[in-house]
């Protein structure tokens, strides 16, 4: 009974110890933070090994081998996922997987900057036995690569048996290493607007410049693909082509994958983990951690619990006073208090029992010099405000103490 009154609860078995709960809380917080980070950087974590024809693909028709070769030879290649990086002066290699891929926005950024477009050629399907590999199902219809630059630059696509014959480099400024051999099925292009750089032995264009702008077309992707650069001479020619097309003083080669659906865009969530906003995020995390520690640990001596029902007359008086305040009946206590003082004074001063009310007050008025009792009692009975009531009660109490002392 005493324990219940004080507020203590009996000890019972607990399903989890404090240490277990702390571990569970820590694991939950770490999992939540990991989920936020992965959600912010998920586009950057995609490997791109989906069998496509782009710079992250390790399929036969991909170009990851060329990126690795350029990196190994100090050409500082970069795979572009952010469209804003396409404003650089360095050579950008575009690898649209179909002729219907929209190139207008990218070419608008690259109007006066060197850009190489590798035209599509093969129809492929994913290899179910090897992740990231493809099975070649045949050549795309000629009308598909023909619309790569349509309608501003109409093209004519032809296919011939290459049979490994050497291709001709017709640009007099091209380096000596720019000597390709034709793949088994050679894809060529034709247009009046094209300036040939590399052709087949019959003069059909394989690599060309479009007009007077630094925009270049590679008709046959097998010259740069993972399968194509498996030959050492083809690999050397591929690097020579990139160097020849790159701008003077270039420090890198950019391989775009935004056209292949592997780009990323800025998100508010990612900004929270990137400088300069990372400092604010860390400050908020530290503040939350300190608040948690402060809430979990107790500072200072523990307070002694109070009893639900206190002991003694003081508790009874306090409870009664609380009830009077709750009922808003403080003003009615003035006359009651005067009655209590009157009865006590009558006993102390041996007033005749026959004296009542005004006669008793008149008798008490003759006692003491700190004021007339009747006036003090009347002031207490007439008080309506708690401050007035308190002042009147103090005067009555002082009258009693002075006269009894």
Residues linked to residue 166 through DSSP beta bridges, in sequence order: 181
Q: For the chain, how many structural domains are there in total?
A: 3
* Coil vs helix vs strand at 161: strand
Check whether residue 149 and residue 240 sit in a common domain.
Answer: yes
Provide the pLDDT for residue 2. 43
Nearest-Å Rg of the Cα atoms of the chain is 48
Q: Could you read off the pLDDT of 113-169 as tens digits, one per residue? A: 999 999 999 998 887 777 778 888 889 999 999 999 988 899 999 999 988 899 999
Check whether residue 206 and residue 278 sit in a common domain.
Answer: no
Q: Is residue 243 predicted with pLDDT exceeding 80? A: yes
Q: Could you read off the pLDDT of 304-327 as tens digits, one per residue? A: 777 666 677 777 877 777 887 777
Check whether residue 235 and residue 274 sit in a common domain.
Answer: no
Check whether residue 332 and residue 399 sit in a common domain.
Answer: yes
Q: Could you read off the pLDDT of 334-389 as tens digits, one per residue? A: 888 888 888 888 888 888 888 888 888 888 878 866 678 888 888 888 887 778 88
Check whether residue 165 and residue 78 sit in a common domain.
Answer: yes
The C-alpha atoms of residue 212 and residue 371 are separated, in whole angstroms, by 118
Check whether residue 93 and residue 57 sit in a common domain.
Answer: yes
Distant-in-sequence, close-in-space partners of 329: CB < 8 Å, separation ≥ 6: none
Check whether residue 241 and residue 321 sit in a common domain.
Answer: no
For residue 207, what are the domain limits?
Answer: 50-261
Check whether residue 231 and residue 346 sit in a common domain.
Answer: no
Q: Is residue 24 predicted with pLDDT exceeding 70? A: yes
Domain membership flag for residue 205? yes
**Mean pLDDT, range 231-259, rounded to an integer:** 91
Domain membership flag for residue 78? yes
Residue found under tokens 């219809």: 141
Provide the pLDDT for residue 385. 79
Domain membership flag for residue 7? no
CATH for 251: 3.40.50
- At residue 134, what are phi and psi to the nearest 5 degrees? -135, 160
Domain membership flag for residue 10? no
Report strand pairing: 205-210 vs 215-218.
Answer: antiparallel
Q: Is residue 4 predicted with pLDDT exceeding 50? A: no
Domain membership flag for residue 3? no
Check whether residue 172 and residue 140 sit in a common domain.
Answer: yes
The C-alpha atoms of residue 184 and residue 162 are separated, in whole angstroms, by 5
Distant-in-sequence, close-in-space partners of 89: CB < 8 Å, separation ≥ 6: 113, 247, 250
Check whether residue 387 and residue 283 sit in a common domain.
Answer: no
Domain membership flag for residue 223? yes
Check whether residue 101 and residue 193 sit in a common domain.
Answer: yes
Residues in the chain: 405
What sign does the dihedral 274-275-277-280 (CA atoms) show?
positive
């Amino acid at each position: 009974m005493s324990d219940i009154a004080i507020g203590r609860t009996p000890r019972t078995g607990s399903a989890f110890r404090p240490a277990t709960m702390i571990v569970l809380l820590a694991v939950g917080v770490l999992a939540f933070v990991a989920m936020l980070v992965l959600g912010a950087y998920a586009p950057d974590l995609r490997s791109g090994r989906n069998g496509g024809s782009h710079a992250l693909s390790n399929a036969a028709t991909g170009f990851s081998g060329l990126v690795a070769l350029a990196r190994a030879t100090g050409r500082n290649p970069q795979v572009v996922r952010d469209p804003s990086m396409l404003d650089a002066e360095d050579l950008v290699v575009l690898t649209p997987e179909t002729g219907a891929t929209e190139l207008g926005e990218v070419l608008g950024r690259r109007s006066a900057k060197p850009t190489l477009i590798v035209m599509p050629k093969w129809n492929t399907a994913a290899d179910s036995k090897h992740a990231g590999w493809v099975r070649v199902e045949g050549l795309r219809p000629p009308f598909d690569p023909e619309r790569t630059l349509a309608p501003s630059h109409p093209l004519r696509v032809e296919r011939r048996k290459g049979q490994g014959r050497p291709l001709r480099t017709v640009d007099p400024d091209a380096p000596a290493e720019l000597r390709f051999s034709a793949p088994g099925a050679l894809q060529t292009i034709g247009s009046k607007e094209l300036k040939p750089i590399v052709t087949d032995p019959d003069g059909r264009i394989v690599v060309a410049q479009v007009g007077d702008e630094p925009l270049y077309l590679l008709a046959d992707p097998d010259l740069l693909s993972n399968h194509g650069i498996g030959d050492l001479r083809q690999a050397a020619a591929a690097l020579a082509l990139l160097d020849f097309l790159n701008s003077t003083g270039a420090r890198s080669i950019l391989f775009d994958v935004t056209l292949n659906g592997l780009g990323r865009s800025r998100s508010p969530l990612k900004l929270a983990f990137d400088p300069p906003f990372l400092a604010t995020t860390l400050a908020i995390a530290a503040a939350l951690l300190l608040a948690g520690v402060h809430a979990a640990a107790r500072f200072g001596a523990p307070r002694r619990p109070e009893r639900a029902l206190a002991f003694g007359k003081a508790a009874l008086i306090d409870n009664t006073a609380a009830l009077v305040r709750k009922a808003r009946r403080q003003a009615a206590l003035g006359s009651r208090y005067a009655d209590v003082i009157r009865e006590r004074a009558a006993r102390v001063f041996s007033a005749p029992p026959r004296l009542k009310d005004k006669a008793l007050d008149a008798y008490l008025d003759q006692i003491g010099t700190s004021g007339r009792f009747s006036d003090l009692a009347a002031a207490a009975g007439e008080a309506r405000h708690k401050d007035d009531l308190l002042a009147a009660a103090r005067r009555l109490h002082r009258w009693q103490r002075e006269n009894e002392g």
